[in-house]
């Protein structure tokens, strides 16, 4: 029997929570090392601040900034009815992140509108898993689903996952926008295929 998205999410989150801190830190450092090749001076890169056991680190954001990239971070908000809205963006300034809802840390205002994502040549996107066709499994809130259609057609959409979270196949929905790449601690940047 194939697992549902909810079952997959629960299993992956449990595995992440059980990961030893030193192993998480080693994987985060490896991801940061790979990030040095993802941007050049003048690029705009959308990234994220990891929460809890998510892959990544502030070190990765610093690596991108040292390459000369402008780093934008997501601002997640709901409308008055509680529906997730497309992500707004704020520029990453070291030491100036503020605590936000959902345990997130985000840039201070002023924020850029969702359409600012179109300036990004590379997006590092949090994921619970990604398959080799580019299907991304997120947490299910829909923030990225509502945002990724605004990206440039030439942008690299990179799902950041642990090595065992790059899988052969995930359940897909018609609205899913495929990732072009995965970034893993051991494998680094890996191109993904297109869905059939």
Q: Give residue-wise pLDDT tens across range 149-187.
A: 999 999 999 999 999 999 999 999 888 899 999 999 999
The mean pLDDT of the chain is: 94
- 35-to-63, 64, 74, 158 alpha-carbon distances in Å: 7, 6, 18, 11
Q: Give residue-wise pLDDT tens across range 104-154.
A: 899 999 999 999 999 999 999 999 999 999 999 999 888 999 999 999 999
* The predicted structure's pLDDT at residue 194: 55
Please provide residue 149's backbone torsions phi and psi, each rounded to the nearest 5 degrees: -70, -10
Q: Quote the CA–CA distance of 179 and 138 in Å, as a whole number.
A: 12
Q: Give residue-wise pLDDT tens across range 26-45.
A: 999 999 999 999 999 999 99
pTM of the model: 0.95
Strands (E), 38-175: 44-46, 70-75, 88-91, 97-99, 105-107, 122-126, 129-131, 136-137, 156-160, 166-167
Structure tokens at 98: 């503020």
Length of the chain: 196
């Amino acid at each position: 029997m194939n697992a549902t998205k909810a079952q997959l999410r629960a299993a992956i989150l449990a595995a992440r929570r059980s990961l030893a801190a030193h192993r998480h830190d080693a994987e985060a450092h490896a991801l940061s090392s790979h990030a040095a090749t993802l941007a050049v001076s003048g690029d705009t890169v959308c990234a994220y601040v990891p929460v809890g056991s998510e892959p990544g680190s502030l070190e990765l954001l610093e690596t991108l900034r040292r390459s000369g990239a402008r780093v934008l971070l997501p601002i997640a908000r709901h409308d008055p009815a509680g529906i997730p809205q497309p992500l707004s963006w704020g520029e990453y300034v070291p030491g100036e992140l503020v605590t936000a809802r959902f345990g997130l840390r985000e840039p201070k205002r002023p924020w850029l509108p969702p359409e600012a994502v179109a300036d990004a040549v590379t997006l590092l996107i949090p994921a619970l898993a990604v398959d080799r066709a580019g299907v991304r499994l997120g947490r299910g809130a829909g923030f990225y689903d509502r945002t990724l259609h605004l990206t440039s057609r030439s942008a690299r959409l990179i799902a950041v996952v642990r090595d065992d979270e790059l899988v052969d196949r995930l359940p897909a929905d018609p609205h899913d926008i495929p990732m072009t790449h995965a970034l893993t601690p051991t494998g680094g940047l890996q191109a993904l295929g297109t869905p059939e």
